[in-house]
Each structure stands twice: as C-alpha cells, then as structure tokens.
Amino acid sequence: MEIPKTYDPRQAEEQHYARWERAGCFAPEANRDESAPVYSIVIPPPNVTGSLHMGHALQHTIMDVLARYHRMRGKRTLWVIGTDHAGISTQIVVERELKKEGLSRHDLGREKFIERVWEWKQRSGGRITEQMRREGASVDWSRERFTMDDDLSRAVREFFVRCHDEGLIYRGERLINWCPKDQTALSDLEVDKETQKGQLWHLQYPVKGSDERRVTVATTRPETMLGDTAVAVNPDDERYQDLIGATLMLPLTGREIPIVADAAVDPAFGTGAVKVTPAHDPTDYEIGERHNLPQIVVIDKHARMTEAAGAEFAGLDRYEAREKVVQKFEELGLLERVADYEGAVSRCDRCRTVIEPLISLQWFCKQRELAEKGLELIRERHEPHFVPEVPWEKVYTDWLEGLHDWTLSRQLWWGHRIPAWYDEEGNVYVARSEEDARVAAGADKLTQDPDVLDTWFSSALWPISTLGWPEETSADLKTFYPTDVLVTAREIIFLWVSRMVMTGTKFIGPLPFRDVVITGLVLDKHGKKMSKSKPSDAVDPMDVFEKYGVDATRITLASSPASTGTDSRWRDEQVESYRNFANKIWNAARFCLMNSEGAQVGKGFEGDPSGWALHDRWIMSELNRTAREVSRAVEGYQFHEAVYSLYHFFWDDFCDWYIELTKQDVTASEPTPARDAARSRVVTVLETALRLLHPFMPFITEELWQRLPGVGADSLHPAYRGMEPTVMLTEYPRADESLIDERAESEMRAVIELVSRVRNIRTELNVKPSEEVRLIISAGGDGLGRVFDASLPQIKRLVRASEVSFKESMADAPRASARAALAGGAELAVPFEGLIDFGQETARLGKEIEKLSKELERLEAQLANPQFVERAPAEKVEELRQRSEDIRQRIVALEQMLEALKG
RNA sequence: GCCCGCUUAGCUCAGUGGUAGAGCACACGCUUCACACGCGUGGGGUCGUAGGUUCAAGUCCUACAGCGGGCACCA
C-alpha cells in the first residue's frame, strides 16, 4: 500500500467535509432511533459581516467536539448554525461600499439602501459560514438561519408586541447614549468606559445680589455650563447652608439659576458644588427630575452647540465650544483654576467616538421584570450552570440585580423595523403587522416608526426563534428546546446570555440552556488581545489551517487553557507540536496498514483476558482508562484534560511501547494465525483510538479510519445504520471497566522500568546503539521474575540484548558489570568486560544511593512522627511504609553492588 | 471606589491536602526496516512574599506585592 511518510492535511480536509455534508451526517435526522436522547447546541450567530478569528475557532472547536462526541454516543444531535444581521456593522460596511461610488445611503433612500444591503449579503455574507466548513464544524446546514429571515422577524415582532401589551416595552423621552458619528442611540452595553487624562476646570458663578460672593463648581465639561439650570450641593454641607435656595448668575448666558440641595452630591469631591446640566449628563438628569429643573439642550446630535447655547456658540463643535467657554471665563476672571484629572469617558464601542448623552424620544424595555425568573433560578438553583462557575455565576447574578432599562431603538435603516405605527394625530399603535395597526387605529393612513431595533433584540430570541417560536407547535422547538449548552465569550454574558434567559423563561418556561461554557481569550504571543483595530500580532485561523492543518489547530485550541476559561497566549510552537502529533498518528497508522494483511478490526482480543500477553492486557487497560478519562473530561468541559489523555495514550503508550512491544509479532515474515492476531490487535487498538480522537481531529481520523481493514457499514453506531460508513457515526468508545487492570499496569511499569534502566546504562556507558549487550536479572522466581520471563522476547528486543539470564542473586555476576536496583526488589547487571570504568561506576551507584537515602530519610522522619501515624489515614501510612521498605531494599542492593565492584 | 482572576522549569502553561508535571527550548547519542514533524538518554523548580490552619500546604485561610480583567452617576 502506498502511503506517504508525511501527512498532508489538505486532501483529507477537502474531501471529507463535503462528503459528510452531502450524506446528511450533520442533521439530527441521520439518527434513526426515535427514542434516542437529544443533544442540542445553538451557535452564537457570528456577524454576517464577520470573518473567522481565533475566538470563533476556539468556540467552534469546543462546540464541535461536544456535538461530535454526543452524536457518536447515539444522541439525536443538532447544532444550529446561522448568522446575525449585525445592524450597525453591516450598515457601515455597505455605506462604505456606497461611498466608493460617491453615494450616501440618503442618496439611495431607505428602500433602495436596504435592497442594496440584501444584495451585499447575498454576495459577501457567506464568508464566515464558508470558513466554518473548513473548520469541520458539524452544524446542520439544512436549518441555517439569519436573524432577518421572515420567520425570525416574525418572532421579533411577536416579542415586541407582547411585551408592549404588558407594559414592559414603552416609548419615552429619556437621556440616552448618543453616538454623534453613527447618528444613533446606543444601549449602555454598547458603550465602553475608558479612563482618560483630562482636566477639571473650576468655574465661578456669581451669587445674585452680592458683589463678591461666588460659588465655584468643578467640571470636566465646561461647554455644558451653557445648559446649566442649577447648582447642587449636599443638603448637609455646612459651607453652603446659607446659599441653598439662593440664585446664581450663570455667566455667558445671563440666566439666573437656583442652588438646590441634593443628596447625590458628594461634599468631599471638588468644591462640593455641582453644576447641573439635566439635558447632558445622567446624574444631572436625575437631579433635574427631582427638582423639576428645566432641560436646556445646548448640544445637538452632531455634537455641535445649538442655538440655545447662545449666538456666540451656536454651530461650534463641542470641543471648540469647550475652549471658548474656558477662555471667556478666564477673561471674566471667573476661572479659578485648572487641575489635572483622570476621569471616565464613554465611547461608542464600534467607532470609538465619544458618546454624547442626549435627551431623546426612544423605545425602552423594562428588563427588571423580565429578569426576575432568571434571578430566582440562579440564586436558588444555580441555573444555568456556568463553567467555570467562578467568577461568572457571580458576575451574571450581580448584573441581573442591577439592571437598567434597555434602550431598544436605533436610528438606523438596517434591522428589524419597530412594529409601531402612528396616525396623523401622533397616536401610537403597536401591532404584529401594519394591517393590525390599521384595524386598531381605525384609520388607513399610518406611518411606521422609522427606527429599527437593537441587533441584540433578535439575538435574545435566537434559541427559540431558530427552533420555530412563536409557532408553538414547532416540532424542533418541542424536540430541541431547551438546548444542552451555550459556548461563548464573556463579553456577551450581559448582551446576550442574560437576555436569552429572559426570553426563554418568559415565552417558553425552562431556561434555554443547561450549561454555559465561558471560554477564555486567545491572546497573541505577547499576551495582548488579538484585535483588528488595535496593534497586536493577531493570528488568522485560516493561515494556521493552511500551515499546520485544521486538526492540529483544533486540538491545539482544545488543549489550550482558553478552552476552560483562562486567557492564554497563542504560540506557533504549540500548534507545531500538535501538527507533529497528527503526523505521529499518520505514521502509526501507516505502520499498521503496511502490516495489515490478515488483520481485521475488532479481532485479536478473543477469550479471557487472563490468557492474553502482558502487553495486550496492559494496552487494553490503558485504552479503556483513556476512554473513561476522556469521557469524564469532555462531559465536564475539561477539554485540555481530554487532549492530554489522548496525546499521552497515543504517543507514549501506543506508539512508544505497544507498537514496539508487538512489532516482532506483527512484522513476522510467516503468515501465521499468531501474526494475524497480533496485526488485528494493533489495528483494533488503533481503530478505537481514532474514534476517541475523532471529535478533536475529525479529518485525519476519518482519512485513516476509511483505510482500516474490516470497517464498513456494520461499524456504525446502531442508531446510524444505513448511513454511509464514516467514523463520525460510529460509537464513541465506552470504557470497559473490566478491562482496566491495575495489575497489568503495575507489571508493565516494572518492564518499562527495566528497559529504561538498561537503556540508561547503555547511554551512560556510551554503548553504540548497534552493539548488543548481555543482561543479568535477579528478580526471584515468582512475581517480577515471572513477569520478566514472560516478556523476555520483547525485553531483549527493546534493550538490544543478545542474551538475558535469570540468576538467584547478583553475587556471581561478573565484577565488570553496570548494575541497577529496580522497584520491587529486582536487580540487574550488564556485564561489560573491559568497558567498565570502576571509578565512574562506583560514583554512579553512589549518586543513586545518595538520592534514595535522602528520600528514605524524609519518609522515615514522617513515619517516626507519632502524630502522623495516629492522625493520617491508615492506608496513607501503609503506603509510606511500603515505599520506604522498597527504598531500603534498593539501597541495600546498591550497597552490595558497590561491594561487588571492589572485587 | 467596589468585585474578581493570575503569579509553578529558560518560554507557554497543567496540577484533585499526601513522591512537583507536560509541550517547546537546551545537552549528548542515533540514516534502529511507521515516523528526523522521528528514536533513545539527560540536565533544569526554596511553586510571588510574609504569616496562619493541618500529622501533612504548590493546593485551604489572612495580609502584602506585581500583573490583568470586570463593574460604578463622584461632577
């Protein structure tokens, strides 16, 4: 059979995904067992404008490992795929495209513009989903969704109307975050607070009716003073007691404003007197509400000063106005001082423009009521279960406890239009359709609200809308809701996770997911966040796929601490080592296939295990132990532990030991039943290992599995009978506890130690690899002696010994021997006439004795401690006793060896 | 300001109260008939600091230091 020496991932990647997709392997319908349990995941829908980054690759790997694992366990598995219309992002992308043609969206008009966006989506929107095919993601394409699909839009309107009818959604004039660049309102979660160095200006406002007296206010935004309608002080502040109720002359405007007392003012900060601009600051807005202060809008939606700011300032940019205000105060002698100050600035998280708080008429959602059920569940039942639980359960709970109303409306064109219509008098009719609104209004001429909804409004419905809600009879909703797990990043716990909880509990009942896995970040090699906007050594997953292969990338990500929630750096060396692992798998399989004549998967391990050779009992024990460990790890979302087990089993146990131990039998030139059996065993272990590895490395495992002798339609999990043979629909190996054999493992450890010690001696004495040695073993007739005897052919081969002899004791071994004492009382000698440097050998043994003596000393000290013996568990004490006994024995043996050296 | 996380080998990171681990890097030796993306052997750690609990602490508790993150209406 012609198999190249080096694995080339490309060919397997190109071939198998298309085949799986064509054969319908990804759909839950592949499973013919109607009574099979269900497993479902919905993907956090990537933005339709997006392209794959490492964060996606990480999350998708985890979701795919879970989906493939549970699918192989025979569950009816659904992984829902789709994309998000991503309101602002998408609108910006298309506007940018228009700009190249010298057009703005206003040139096109709303309808044409939206057509243009759909066109763009048709043309370029599939990029990220194409990339997901490359990743190997086993999502069900037949159920692919887009948040602007008709049925999902219907769900959005249903959600809006029902909440409006219950008073949870309302329209009102409130202070909101406004992005002057994107020209839209934003929710609190779409705003980043950033500390920034700036100044604190101390401005003096003269007191009316007094020539000298002034009140000094401190502000980071002097330009807003043009809209001041009061100055507030703390009611208990002694400095200002006599001024409460007094009137100030607001400079530059000639307006008179009152001094009010409000507990929100911190007397310790600044001067203890706060200028109040209700129209442009959230705190001031609340103070204004409490004291019935007028709101004077001095900054407009473009962050320019309005007419109300005064003729001198009208039209100026907010920062120009700031300078001018400061300058004027200085000229008037009313600028007391300027202090350096580090304060928080809010920025639009999309375009980084400084947010302008503005009073504006918008739609809001009362989240507090919606969150009640979710709060109850997390507090009383710790549901959903966050992984890792610390710190996310607390972060999530704290957030739900401190909810503010959610600003829903966006002044954009791309998105779900708000289902509200107005008649000519301005009355509002919220309805599921324009027709319903007309009926409600009793009028024909209605105008729909021009605004659209926050993108996250439709995302909040994702787990239920993709499964068919509000169609209560939807089979998918009944079958696949609630989902099993949500895998996502911490940034969207509030934006998305909490809101899905609200909609799921409100409209369906149960939480939309049982577990929430929060991944860590994949940072660049310097520990910086990979970012497109900020400088970083961001790594493109597609490049990594190209260079190292998809499987190597996936298993690297699964092994990364980021898969279990800890941020960690991306390192090419890591993926390189897993690329090497893929190649190791390839070559192990290559060896098996080159020697596969007469072999058959599933054979070779017949009869009672007690009749098997030690290495066969041992490898089955390790294999089943690995299967147990991997299942435990995957089910507990400890992916790096699963990878560690698989890597260690495959490379160390299977390749380095089992194949080497069995090689002679497998490569025997005579085609005997014994050879066939040995070949079958090695291929059986390989096949099981490939199934264990498949969720992590789908392509190479499929590529190799297809070539194994004796696999086919019958190899599939019973639930998938009738499907095309593929490793992805076989049964995920279940640990057979009866094959986990502690004794075989311990005996094999002894053989490994023996071999390792002889190799160590060979290396230390510079024996050429090609040169054969003689080996003398003393291990008693029972126990270890029998074990070594039974494995003699293997031992001879592995240490390159021409001859191995068993002796009662080492006493009559040649003086010129290198010696070692093993655990369990075994001793060995390797005679080297003329090669032994007695001084060197004495030193080597001396060093060994010293090392063991130190350990013995420590153990004995512990055993001599009556409190330890009394209080520690008896088995622990016994364990230490045995260990110290073994070490003592070895020291005695080594000392005798030293004696023997003296001759 | 409040809350949280991290600190273990040269690097990146695992680690469940009971013998400190992996990968990479490093050193030495290998064209050993699956694999040099490999094989064999080896060196390398007072587990951030100081206390405490415990028979026993890298692991639990307290404080501190350094780094990172989240939340917050102190102008």
What confidence score (pLDDT) does residue A836 get?
A: 80
| Residue nearest B4, CA–C1′ metric | A391
Alpha helices per DSSP H over A250-317:
282-291
Question: Nearest Cα to A297, choosing from A145, A418, A146, A176?
Answer: A176
DSSP designation for A738 = G
What confidence score (pLDDT) does residue A903 get?
A: 66
One-letter identity of residue A581: F
- Distance in Å from B9's C1' to A854's CA comes to 22
Nucleotide whose C1' lies closest to the alpha carbon of residue A552: B37
The answer to whether residues A261 and A192 touch, using CB atoms and an 8 Å cutoff, is no
- Distance in Å from B7's C1' to A566's CA comes to 14
CA A457 – CA A158 distance, rounded (Å): 12
| Residue nearest B34, CA–C1′ metric | A591
pLDDT > 90: percent of chain A:
83
CA A338 – CA A332 distance, rounded (Å): 15
CA A367 – CA A388 distance, rounded (Å): 26
- Distance in Å from B12's C1' to A573's CA comes to 9
Edge-to-edge strands, sheet with A191-206: A214-219, A191-206, A335-348
- Distance in Å from B63's C1' to A389's CA comes to 26
| Residue nearest B3, CA–C1′ metric | A395
| Residue nearest B19, CA–C1′ metric | A855
DSSP designation for A174 = E
What confidence score (pLDDT) does residue A1 get?
A: 52
- Give the model confidence (pLDDT) of A343-375 as tens digits: 888 999 888 899 999 999 999 999 999 999 999
What confidence score (pLDDT) does residue A268 get?
A: 84
Say which residues have a Cβ less than 8 Å from residue A118's Cβ, sequence separation at least 6: none
**Is the confidence at residue A110, as pLDDT, over 70?**
yes
Nucleotide whose C1' lies closest to the alpha carbon of residue A654: B34
CA A253 – CA A298 distance, rounded (Å): 12
- Distance in Å from B74's C1' to A784's CA comes to 76
The answer to whether residues A588 and A655 touch, using CB atoms and an 8 Å cutoff, is yes
**Is the confidence at residue A756, as pLDDT, over 70?**
yes
**Is the confidence at residue A631, as pLDDT, over 70?**
yes
For A659-708, the DSSP string reads IHHHHHHHT-SS--HHHHHHHHHHHHHHHHHHHHHTTT-HHHHHHHHTTS
Q: How confident is residue A839, by pLDDT bands cut at 50, 70 and 90?
A: confident
Q: Which residue has the tokens 């607070």?
A: A193
- Distance in Å from B72's C1' to A296's CA comes to 27
**Is the confidence at residue A223, as pLDDT, over 60?**
yes
Nucleotide whose C1' lies closest to the alpha carbon of residue A195: B72
CA A391 – CA A397 distance, rounded (Å): 10
- Distance in Å from B55's C1' to A869's CA comes to 7
- Distance in Å from B50's C1' to A339's CA comes to 40
Nucleotide whose C1' lies closest to the alpha carbon of residue A872: B55
Q: How confident is residue A834, by pLDDT bands cut at 50, 70 and 90?
A: confident
Nucleotide whose C1' lies closest to the alpha carbon of residue A591: B34
**Residues pairing with A872 in the sheet:** none
| Residue nearest B30, CA–C1′ metric | A769
Q: Count the alpha carbons within 13 Å of A564 in the hemisphere toward its beta carbon.
A: 15
The answer to whether residues A539 and A574 touch, using CB atoms and an 8 Å cutoff, is no
What confidence score (pLDDT) does residue A832 get?
A: 87
The answer to whether residues A735 and A621 touch, using CB atoms and an 8 Å cutoff, is no
In the three-class reduction of DSSP (H, G, I as helix; E, B as strand; rest coil), residue A626 is classed as: helix
Highest mean pLDDT among A139-148, A531-540, A774-783: A139-148
Backbone angles phi, psi at A612, to 5 degrees: -80, 160
- Distance in Å from B55's C1' to A630's CA comes to 35
pTM flag (> 0.90): yes
**Is the confidence at residue A587, as pLDDT, over 90?**
yes
Rounded to an integer, the average pLDDT of A545-563 is 96
Nucleotide whose C1' lies closest to the alpha carbon of residue A404: B73
CA A869 – CA A863 distance, rounded (Å): 6
| Residue nearest B39, CA–C1′ metric | A656
For A299-359, the DSSP string reads B-TTSBB-GGG-TTTTT-BHHHHHHHHHHHHHHHT-EEEEEEEEEEEEEETTT-PBPEEEE
CA A444 – CA A268 distance, rounded (Å): 60
- Distance in Å from B64's C1' to A378's CA comes to 35
| Residue nearest B55, CA–C1′ metric | A868
- Distance in Å from B14's C1' to A861's CA comes to 31
Nucleotide whose C1' lies closest to the alpha carbon of residue A276: B75
Choose between A729 and A768: higher pLDDT.
A729
Distances, alpha carbon A42 to alpha carbons A2, A60, A515, in Å: 42, 11, 12
Q: How far apart are the first and last CA of chain A?
A: 57
One-letter identity of residue A639: F
For A592-622, the DSSP string reads HHHT-TT--TT-S--S-GGGS-HHHHHHHHH
pLDDT > 70: percent of chain A:
99
Mean pLDDT of chain A: 93
What confidence score (pLDDT) does residue A416 get?
A: 97
- Distance in Å from B21's C1' to A671's CA comes to 43
The total of other beta-carbon atoms located within 10 Å of residue A200's CB is 17
In the three-class reduction of DSSP (H, G, I as helix; E, B as strand; rest coil), residue A778 is classed as: strand
Q: How confident is residue A661, by pLDDT bands cut at 50, 70 and 90?
A: very high
Nucleotide whose C1' lies closest to the alpha carbon of residue A270: B75
User: To 10 degrees, what angle do helices A54-72 and A541-548 make?
Assistant: 60
State CA A407 to chain mean position distance: 29
Peptide bond into A718 cis (omega under 30): no
Nucleotide whose C1' lies closest to the alpha carbon of residue A221: B75
Q: Which residue has the tokens 């190997």?
A: A136
**Is the confidence at residue A2, as pLDDT, over 80?**
no
- Give the model confidence (pLDDT) of A841-886 as tens digits: 888 888 889 888 888 988 998 999 999 999 999 999 999 999 999 9
- Distance in Å from B25's C1' to A572's CA comes to 13
| Residue nearest B25, CA–C1′ metric | A573
- Distance in Å from B26's C1' to A699's CA comes to 34
Question: Nearest Cα to A54, choosing from A536, A499, A482, A457?
Answer: A536
Question: Nearest Cα to A316, choosing from A295, A335, A297, A302?
Answer: A302
Nucleotide whose C1' lies closest to the alpha carbon of residue A871: B55
- Distance in Å from B29's C1' to A668's CA comes to 29
CA A349 – CA A193 distance, rounded (Å): 9
> Which bases in strand B are touched by protein, i.e. have an atom under 7 Å from a CB?
3-6, 12-15, 18-19, 22-25, 28-42, 54-56, 68-75
**Is the confidence at residue A267, as pLDDT, over 90?**
no
- Distance in Å from B25's C1' to A571's CA comes to 13
Rg (CA), chain A: 37
Nucleotide whose C1' lies closest to the alpha carbon of residue A560: B13
Question: Nearest Cα to A822, choosing from A780, A792, A782?
Answer: A780
Q: How confident is residue A531, by pLDDT bands cut at 50, 70 and 90?
A: confident
Give the DSSP H/E element, type plus range, for residue A19: helix A9-23
Alpha helices per DSSP H over A229-270:
none
CA A701 – CA A705 distance, rounded (Å): 6
Nucleotide whose C1' lies closest to the alpha carbon of residue A757: B41
| Residue nearest B29, CA–C1′ metric | A763
Backbone angles phi, psi at A889, to 5 degrees: -60, -40
The answer to whether residues A387 and A517 touch, using CB atoms and an 8 Å cutoff, is yes
What confidence score (pLDDT) does residue A664 get?
A: 94
- Ramachandran sector of residue A456 (left: φ over 0; alpha: ψ -120 to 50; beta: rest): alpha
One-letter identity of residue A46: P
CA A551 – CA A692 distance, rounded (Å): 14
What confidence score (pLDDT) does residue A387 get?
A: 92
The answer to whether residues A182 and A348 touch, using CB atoms and an 8 Å cutoff, is yes
Rounded to an integer, the average pLDDT of A381-399 is 91
CA A615 – CA A620 distance, rounded (Å): 8
Edge-to-edge strands, sheet with A273-276: A247-250, A255-261, A230-233, A273-276
